[in-house]
Amino acid sequence: MCGIMGITGRGNAVPGVIAGLRALEYRGYDSVGMVWQKDGKLSIKRVVGRVDALEAAMPEGACGTTAIGHTRWATHGGVTEYNAHPHMDPAGTIAVVHNGIIDNYAELRAELEEQGAAFTSETDTEVVAHLIAREYQGDLVAAVEAVLPRIVGVYAFGIMAKDQPGLLVGARKGSPLTVGFGDGVQMLASDVVPFLTHTRQALYLDDGQIAVLTPDGYEIRQNGSVVTPVITTIEWSAEDASKEGYEHYMLKEIYEQPKALKTLIDARLSLPADGMPLITSPEGDIPDEALDKATRIVLLAHGTAYHAAMVGRLLIERVARIPCYPEYASDFRYRYPIIEPGTLYVVVTQSGETIDTLSALRLVKEFGHPTLAVVNVPSSTIAREATYVSPLMAGPEIGVASTKAFTSMIASLYLLALRFGMRRGALTVEEARRRAGDLLRVSARMHEVLLKADGIKDVALKYADKEHFMFLGRGTGWPLALEGALKLKEISYIHAEGMNSSEIKHGPLALVDKEMPVLFIALKGERYDRLVANINEVKAREGRIIAIISEDDKEIGQYADDVFRIHDDCGVMNAILCSAPLQLLAYHAAVARGADVDKPKNLAKSVTVE
């Protein structure tokens, strides 16, 4: 949510900031602005809309060696130009951009207004510009360090002063902020994606740290003193974060799933000629002795990651015979949870920056319990703060609607289930080998599913004009139904509900008529007969039935209006195969309706505020 991009160097920083903001568009925003420094003056431009609109509105010849830009996702105040960032004090001395929420801004604003301050926006951020300006005596770093203790809440700041040329200051508490190093240029951003065309060297600010950047170098400060940061080499390339010829990032990431799954599974799992499968743990992963101490597992997540956790529960309980409970991290955090000895807390997240999941992780750590992060960004805050880390290795995911990270989460949780099952003696050699074979086969089967994508596109176009949709499933099909509904609503804006099909007679059946498309995840298995019964119930109410079914199914096709067939020989990993048709359905429906697939309205890739 929101994006910061700042540059200080010896050349014109304005084009680089524009390019960096464009690289951050996936984070979600509704307005955008920039401030640049030249000849002892700060110049500012803000617009409602996209980065392209800002670029078009920039004054001809805009130039400055130091600049900060910001994409705003509205929290305090409406979507207007005067609420867009950057914000300045009335004298134009200080400029501030901000990601996060200042909890005590109303109190600070009232105090400043009593002292005669005049505000031009409804935001919480503007109070920070006023406070820093009042402390400023020619030393921006000192002024920032004086003001930060007064601010309660979550923030990542980028700050400039008009009469300190070349100086860029960043500060972080709760919201991510990174520093990148180029040749004669230093950069500040919400994440590393904008750096990839400049450098592969970066550092990640920890809470309470301040970055002081000049064209000649940088300094990291904490509690008034200089500290030595850890420099990280970014594993991703600029090509990894590009569309590579695809129309949208989301479509590219859907088609990257076979490769992402193969990368993860081949790195972790091997099947010798005989005996148990071999699972290799990456550096920093949970050791066997920690697994042996666990008597139950709690999976903490939100959104798509929560749906992966729901699948994970079924995998872990079925394979390892250990109690497992998926939890919404925000609900877990605020309900005074019972945190018991012997519980392993696993946080599941793509970005590693989701504020609710991070807060739940920190709560568990306060009780001294071990935590495992199943995370796609290995340098994220959650990855750095968790006791153990199991990286998804899926590569950068730019589209707001998660696709490849979701299926990689399921695969990673299955690997965890297999490790538990073998350690606990819950699996025979034969069963362990069969399950490992299912996982090793899933990448190739996913490739086959994607080769038949035109069939799903035809279905999506057929129903793209509908305003309501229902997704139903049982077992692993239930969380997939939730995920399918989430994908459709978040990018096509079609109202969609996902649920366990056993619930349909408890109310939702009242919604079914000839205008209601109902998608069933209905592969053969122990719940198949019940799913067929549910399909007949919908058919009797004239509902439009779409079904994802087994390749050799000869029954459901008699009742369904449209079917999509998959080879179902990957056991519980068939859940991964069923995900691709759901993702493609949402994608093609959104394109047909003219929606902005990669930047859906009101949403952000990484939810960094509560």
Instruction: Please indicate, yes or no, if residue 360 is contained in any of the structural domains.
Output: yes
Q: Are residues 350 and 396 in the same domain?
A: yes
Residues 6 or more apart whose CB falls under 8 angstroms from that of 419 comprise 279, 281, 288, 291
Q: Are residues 8 and 142 in the same domain?
A: yes
Work out the percent of the chain whose per-residue pLDDT is above 70.
99
Residue 40 pLDDT class (50, 70, 90 cuts): confident
Taking a C-beta distance cutoff of 8 angstroms, is the pair 94, 133 a contact? yes
In the prediction, which pLDDT does 475 show?
A: 94
Tokens of 109: 């604003």
Instruction: Please indicate, yes or no, if residue 128 is contained in any of the structural domains.
Output: yes
User: Into how many domains does the chain fold?
Assistant: 3
Q: Are residues 418 and 538 in the same domain?
A: no
Of the residues 448, 466, 488, which one is the last residue of a structural domain? 448
In the prediction, which pLDDT does 379 show?
A: 86
Instruction: Please indicate, yes or no, if residue 606 is contained in any of the structural domains.
Output: no
Which one from 2, 324, 570, 578 is the annotated catalytic residue?
2
Tokens of 569: 């020989």
Q: What is the pLDDT of residues 450-463, one digit of tens each?
A: 999 999 999 999 99
For residue 588, what is the enclosing H or E element? Answer: helix 574-592
* Boundaries of domain holding 465: 453-592
* Averaged confidence pLDDT in the chain: 93
Domain CATH number, residue 370 = 3.40.50.10490
Let me know if 605 is a catalytic residue: yes
In the prediction, which pLDDT does 104 show?
A: 95
Residue 184 pLDDT class (50, 70, 90 cuts): confident
Instruction: Please indicate, yes or no, if residue 607 is contained in any of the structural domains.
Output: no
Residues 6 or more apart whose CB falls under 8 angstroms from that of 303 comprise 354, 402, 486, 607
Domain CATH number, residue 136 = 3.60.20.10
Instruction: Please indicate, yes or no, if residue 363 is contained in any of the structural domains.
Output: yes
The DSSP bridge partners found for residue 31 are: 48, 72
The b-or-e profile of 578-595 (16+ CB within 10 A means b, else e) is bbbbbbbbbbbbbbbeeb
Instruction: Please indicate, yes or no, if residue 219 is contained in any of the structural domains.
Output: yes
Q: Are residues 125 and 142 in the same domain?
A: yes
Q: Which range has the worst mean pLDDT, 298-312, 327-341, 463-477, 575-589?
A: 327-341
Instruction: Please indicate, yes or no, if residue 377 is contained in any of the structural domains.
Output: yes
574-592 and 477-492 helices, crossing angle to 10°: 20
Q: Are residues 121 and 194 in the same domain?
A: yes
Let me know if 2 is a catalytic residue: yes
Instruction: Please indicate, yes or no, if residue 610 is contained in any of the structural domains.
Output: no
Mean pLDDT (whole number) for 123-143: 96
Q: Are residues 483 and 395 in the same domain?
A: no
In the prediction, which pLDDT does 609 show?
A: 67
Q: Are residues 316 and 457 in the same domain?
A: no
CB atoms within 10 A of CB 10: 12
Which one from 38, 162, 487, 605 is the annotated catalytic residue?
605
In the prediction, which pLDDT does 99 show?
A: 92
